[in-house]
Chain A
Amino acid sequence: MAGSAQPYRHMQAMEVLLEGETDFAGWRDAARRLALNNVAPETVTWSTGRDGDLFGSRDPLPEIPAGATMNVPRDFIDLAELVTCHSEPQRFALLYRILSRLRSEPDLLKIASDTDVIRLNELAKAVRRDIHKMRAFVRFRKIEEADGERYVSWFEPQHYIVERNAAFFVRRFTGMRWTILTPYLSADWDGEDLRFGPGANRSAAPSDDDLEALWKTYYANIFNPARLKVKAMQAEMPKKYWRNLPEAALIPDLIAGADKSAQEMIARMPTIPAPHHETVRAKHWSNKPEAESGDGADASSIAELRDAAKACRRCPLWADATQTVFGEGPEDARIVFVGEQPGDQEDLAGKPFVGPAGKVFDGVLEEAGVDRSITYVTNGVKHFKFEPRGKRRIHSKPNAGEISACRWWLDHELALIKPDLAVAMGATAAQSLLGKSIAVTKMRGQVVTRDDGLRVFLTIHPSFILRIPDPSDKEAERERFVADMRAVKQLMAA
């Protein structure tokens, strides 16, 4: 980079003539030469082919001094290329001024509150918006030609964006032959090649398309007169675009009639049901009374009990959960494993122990050689309790009331299965099985016999292992859990 502290050499006025409105390459070349010769921005006048000819003069550009180089941020080059498409005549001068400033203020573009930077961003935004609006508001009309159909549009962009935007239309309408005519340039796609031609007049485009009647029908009917918001519409679809939008012709009448239509909608009194209504009811809804699921007290199988639990309202947890996650396993299982409550994955799948903790549990059972076909797996609480945090659900611990409400189901599961052993995994399961709060980590590995004779083996919940951050501690804890499961197996063999 040449020393930015050097005095400007050319102080006399200088005019640069570019080849066209979007001659970014020409601007770039000239700007480099000028900047490296320290030509002051306020001494340069920029003009483009059309009006530049009027003045007829073109000053020769200075050569780049030997060895002089300059670096500008990539962002600036991209922005400059974009802003070149703007119709603002002063854009080239603004770009050169910013380029000159960048030599001594390399972070200039990051100063979003600088007035030059603000102007640059405004112009860029206007071009982007025009590009977007062209994608939105081009309307093709179909014409039949000797060799097939062609779709032709007349569009009036605010800025010089057709070349920059044409690739979008190629990507989108690859399988069509189309032409976009604008006052300064036309673009034409024949299915294989994109060509640019001179500007055109509106009269060169077709004046109608039969399909517009359908489009207007759609436009008029999708509008809800009870929600009139004219300003919101015009902010996004400014009037300057209306003359080339077939549907815009309807707008004044739709607005004028909106209030009346809305009042009519409100005023129209509820009427008697439509004639076919009774037929529909008889056919589809007559023999489907709401299945009254009982409380499961008289269920004679796990399947019946599971059905009854679907509509459980014994505690408020159902309201936020997806579904009741009931126990699973053979009805004649000899061991019943009881966990705390379903988690995120279980809530979605409706099955217990299918999430991360379930995977740990499966692995450990296999390692300990416990036969899954004699085990039944369930939870002390059968709805997922959580707090939403953005796109995640954070597990919350069930409270004593929820545990005791849900005991109803566990008691009935145990009564139907009549296992030899229940395994309480974690404090919630222990409380649910034994009816009181137990310090599981202290009593781990012990067997407590309930009043009804059921033996309850106490251990931790497998999710406890998942929460240990240190890998070697985690592995040690997993080993202890495997040992617990081996003990369970021993108990079964005894």
Chain B
Amino acid sequence: MAVLSTREKLAILSDAAKYDASCASSGAAKRNSLKSGGIGSTEGSGICHAYAPDGRCISLLKILLTNFCIYDCSYCINRSSSNTKRARFTIDEVVQLTLNFYKRNYIEGLFLSSGVIRSPDETMGEMVEIARRLREDHKFGGYIHLKTIPECAPELLEAAGRYADRLSINVELPTDEGVKRLAPEKRPETIRLSMANLRAKMEERSEPTLRTKRRERFAPGGQSTQMIVGADATTDATILKTSARLYGSYHLRRIYFSAFSPIPDSSSALPSMRPPLMREHRLYQADWLMRFYGFDQNEIVASQPNGMLDLQVDPKLAWALANRAQFPVDVNRAPRETLWRVPGLGTKAVKKILEVRRHRRLRLEDVGRLCASIAKVRPFIVAEGWSPGGQTDAEHLRAKLVPQPQQLSLF
């Protein structure tokens, strides 16, 4: 086989990594290089250094160590039966790429994942060694996210947590049955156990040790996961139920939904179509409602007979249209939790409303200045000098609020 240049490998191994949705570099502990004299800092919120034309943020150097893989998961471009081109970075190539990109301010750090070659331990061992060299040999203080291989030895997981800001294990698909069908060699039980171990480790390490009174470092940015949406027939209701379970059980920082994207040389077990991007978007909105707006996953999909989120309107508006008896809400009196449920009012707008109304009564135009668009809010609120009258219960309300279909423009 011809020897590939670093550039050729980078082309193959970044192409292979693009189906992973996460590129977040947030949640890390604050850190800078003033003392170490090295390079790298993390200051809480991450930075997106570029955006690709797919609208996704490029924050990290997101690559695979290798795309050789002994697993044969049908949704994955790197499955063993795929005819995709294969490549493998050396440990030093990844270290140098990361440092060189970082020094030019292209990236916040490294998101390293890998196909499994020979054994989970061998692959994970090399990934950990890359993180170790960056941290110890090169005094690198940037962000490191390691995709953990669930089957690897506990010592490797331990070391990974010492060097990385965030660890993640992909649940891949929302149900165990889905995993068994499309990723026959993967074991959902092992994936759960690994996430449970990570949570237990993080909790154990967040307690100061008895001897040194210091907290030992273990993945301060927490753990996250990803599930593929649209590769099988799972409903949104099931996806949200799985999300709620995963957040509750393993204290995940984030769950990423990745609309199943057609992959070259795809398996015949999978749909061949454009990725369901709007569905992915609605799932993120629903996920937000669960995490920041006090919604329970059951009520989000309760009004949808087929268990699928409404693609035409956002899930909060869909909920409000189905629960009109709870509206209108008086913006000058309603408690925070009730205001959160008003379509078009985000948590920031609600915070401002609560602040302003301590000093003066809000009129409709005041609310208009505090939110992005008053049109969506208007039928659902009462304000000083404003009552929606029959609008709230009007039959055509939904039709009025559905966004007009737009001509798709390509630039």
Contacts and interface: CB of A to CB of B under 8 A. Distances in A.
Q: Do A and B bind each other?
A: yes
Interface of A: 107, 110-113, 115, 118, 132, 135-142, 151, 153, 168, 170-176, 209, 211, 213-215, 217-233, 236-237, 245, 247, 251-252, 254-255, 258-259, 262, 264-266, 268, 270-271, 273-274, 276-277, 280-281, 283-285, 310, 319-320, 322-323, 347-350, 386, 388-393
Nearest to A319: B176
B249 A136 contact: no
Contacts of B81: 273-274, 277
Interface string B18-37: 11000000000000111011
27 contacts: A110-B356, A110-B359, A113-B365, A113-B367, A113-B370, A136-B48, A137-B50, A168-B41, A168-B43, A176-B103, A214-B101, A218-B10, A222-B52, A226-B275, A227-B54, A227-B56, A230-B410, A233-B54, A262-B274, A284-B70, A319-B176, A323-B192, A323-B193, A386-B248, A388-B244, A388-B247, A393-B249
A353 to B, nearest CB: 16
Nearest to A149: B103
Nearest to A277: B81
A274 B80 CA distance: 7
Given A224-B54, A232-B51, A280-B80, A218 B61 contact: yes
A223 B18 contact: yes
Contact of B356 (A112, A168, A258): A112
Contact of A217 (B7, B34, B355): B7
A138 B18 contact: no
B334 interface: no
A149 to B, nearest CB: 9
A233 B58 CA distance: 11
Contacts of B181: none
Contacts of B38: 174-175
A113 B369 contact: yes
Contact of A228 (B105, B359, B410): B410
Contacts of A138: 105
A274 B83 contact: yes
A247 B49 CA distance: 11
B39 A176 contact: yes
Contact of B366 (A113, A175, A262): A113
A290 B80 CA distance: 19
B329 interface: no
A270 B266 contact: yes
A266 B51 contact: no
Given A139-B106, A274-B82, A172 B49 contact: no
A266 B139 contact: no
A175 B139 contact: yes
Nearest to A110: B355
Contacts of A168: 41, 43
Given A174-B37, A233-B54, A226 B14 contact: no
A223 B10 contact: no
Given A113-B362, A270-B267, A232 B55 contact: yes
B26 to A, nearest CB: 13
A322 B193 contact: yes
Residue from A115, A213, A247, A254 with most neighbouring chain B CB atoms (10 Å): A247
Residue from B47, B50, B200 with most neighbouring chain A CB atoms (10 Å): B50
Given A230-B411, A237-B51, A224 B19 contact: yes
A223 B54 contact: yes
Contacts of A115: 369
Contact of A389 (B11, B36, B197, B248): B248
Contacts, number: 256
B72 interface: yes
Nearest to B296: A389
Nearest to B140: A175
B391 interface: no
A110 B358 contact: yes
A391 B290 CA distance: 11
B15 interface: yes
A268 B264 contact: yes
A393 B356 contact: no
Contact of A112 (B265, B355, B411): B355
Contacts of A227: 54-56, 259, 261, 275, 277
B360 interface: yes
A276 B6 contact: no
The 9 closest A-B pairs by CB, nearest first: A232-B55, A388-B248, A229-B55, A273-B81, A113-B366, A171-B32, A174-B33, A223-B52, A227-B54
Contact of A266 (B19, B245, B249, B274): B274
Given A136-B47, A142-B103, A229-B53, A174 B39 contact: yes
Given A110-B359, A390-B248, A233 B53 contact: yes
B55 A391 contact: no
B324 interface: no
A132 B45 CA distance: 11
B100 A211 contact: yes
A236 B48 contact: yes
A271 B33 CA distance: 50
A209 B17 CA distance: 25
Given A211-B100, A322-B193, A218 B356 contact: no
Interface in B193-211: 193, 195-197, 199-200
A305 B273 CA distance: 47
Contacts of A254: 52-53
B50 A247 contact: yes
B251 interface: yes
A148 to B, nearest CB: 13
Interface string B70-89: 10100000001111000000
Contacts of A268: 264-266
Contact of B33 (A175, A222, A252, A259): A175
A280 B200 CA distance: 34
Contacts of B100: 211, 214
Contacts of B411: 230, 252, 255
Given A259-B410, A270-B267, A348-B200, A214 B10 contact: yes
A393 B248 contact: yes
B104 interface: yes
Contact of A229 (B54, B82, B197, B352): B54
A221 B51 contact: no
Contact of B265 (A222, A262, A271): A271
Nearest to B97: A214
B33 A139 contact: no
Nearest to B45: A132
Nearest to B84: A274
Contact of B251 (A172, A232, A265, A391): A391
A175 B40 CA distance: 9
Contacts of B251: 391
B257 to A, nearest CB: 13
B323 interface: no
